[in-house]
């Protein structure tokens, strides 16, 4: 596990703006926390779990931040709180954000390793087992490796039937006042 004991880490610190020149989801990991690493402020090894401080992922809503964390090797981030848009962006790409209070985050960081079970919604570490909350739809997507496209493809038969019945030819419905 890796630990970044800082609060209010914003998305520009996670992946600085000068590295946002591509639209594919890969290739961002090498620039994760670039400015801090270059300045020697932090050292970070790729691990499945990152323990972070409160309000992680604040700032702009760039989806590149979860991409960079995932590309670096993280599968889950454990923190006392996350910025709302960042949290949603993580779940959309399969990166698990786990919210636990500060005391438990510190205990897990001190333990040095942990295991997260999405199905049971637990974090197991030397200090015990802690439960976390996650929306059932998000849990389903994470357990089945589904993004929004995968969810849509799950309705492929219904979409094909709609199109075969001429539903796609009707066009958008608009109203005017």
User: Domain residues of the chain, as ranges?
Assistant: 2-162
**Confidence tier at 177 by pLDDT (50, 70, 90):** low
Mean pLDDT of the chain: 91
Return the pLDDT at 30.
Answer: 94
CATH number of the domain located at residue range(s) 2-162 in this protein: 3.20.19.10
Per residue in 39-62, pLDDT (tens digit) is: 999 999 999 999 999 999 998 878
Return the pLDDT at 164.
Answer: 81
Return the pLDDT at 176.
Answer: 65
> Could you give the CA distance from residue 24 to residue 27 in angstroms, rounded to a whole number?
8
Return the pLDDT at 102.
Answer: 97
Give percent of the chain above pLDDT 70.
95
Overall average pLDDT of the 169-175 stretch: 69
**Confidence tier at 21 by pLDDT (50, 70, 90):** confident
Q: Answer whether residue 168 shows pLDDT above 70.
A: no
Per residue in 66-117, pLDDT (tens digit) is: 999 999 999 999 999 999 999 999 999 999 999 999 999 999 999 999 999 9
Q: Answer whether residue 118 shows pLDDT above 90.
A: yes
């Amino acid at each position: 596990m890796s630990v970044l004991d800082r609060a209010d880490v914003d998305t520009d610190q996670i992946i600085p703006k000068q590295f946002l020149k591509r639209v594919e989801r890969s290739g961002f990991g090498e620039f994760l926390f670039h400015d801090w690493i270059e300045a020697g402020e932090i050292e970070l090894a790729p691990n499945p779990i990152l323990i972070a401080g409160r309000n992680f992922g604040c700032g702009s809503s760039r989806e590149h931040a979860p991409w960079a964390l995932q590309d670096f090797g993280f599968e889950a981030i454990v923190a006392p709180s996350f910025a709302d848009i960042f949290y949603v962006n993580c779940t959309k790409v399969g990166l698990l954000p786990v919210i636990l209070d500060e005391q438990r985050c510190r205990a897990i960081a001190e333990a040095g390793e942990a295991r997260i079970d999405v199905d049971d919604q637990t974090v197991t570490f030397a200090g015990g087992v802690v439960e976390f909350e996650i929306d059932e739809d998000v849990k389903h997507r994470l357990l089945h490796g589904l993004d929004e496209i995968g969810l849509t493809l799950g309705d492929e038969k219904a979409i094909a039937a709609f199109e075969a019945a001429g539903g796609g030819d009707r066009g958008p419905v608009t109203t005017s006042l």
